[in-house]
Amino acid sequence: MDLENQKRVKEFAEEYGPENIVVILGAAEGEAAGLAAETVTAGDPTFAGPLTGVQLGLTTYHVCEPEMKDEFDDAVYDEQVSMMEMVLDVDDIISEMSSIRDEFCKYL
């Protein structure tokens, strides 16, 4: 997660309260999604950005997880995500995201 997005997430959490924020990710690999999820839950693991040492504990999901997929209009999801979903290792992404949520999310 780049530094500007870290800054935005931190500002939103401060403004609206971390319990009111859900971060939806769209990374193409489980490891990348997990790194971004870890950043907004446990703090920036690279120690380079505004979330270094900041444990927001935000709720995070990947757009391909069933919990998120069910929230979208089917036509919109098909148009915007389904083509990519066919080439992603969705099981790996779900496993990585579930692990991060179980360990670090405070607001499930």
Residues 66-104 have pLDDT tens digits of 999 999 999 999 999 999 999 999 999 999 999 999 999
Distance CA(18)–CA(93), nearest Å, equals 23
Distance CA(18)–CA(95), nearest Å, equals 23
Distance CA(60)–CA(21), nearest Å, equals 9
Distance CA(38)–CA(106), nearest Å, equals 12
Distance CA(21)–CA(57), nearest Å, equals 10
Q: Enumerate the domain spans of the chain.
A: 3-104
- pLDDT-derived band at 108 (thresholds 50, 70, 90) equals confident
How much of the chain, in percent, has pLDDT values that exceed 90?
99
* Amino acid 25: pLDDT: 97
Mean pLDDT of 8-26: 98
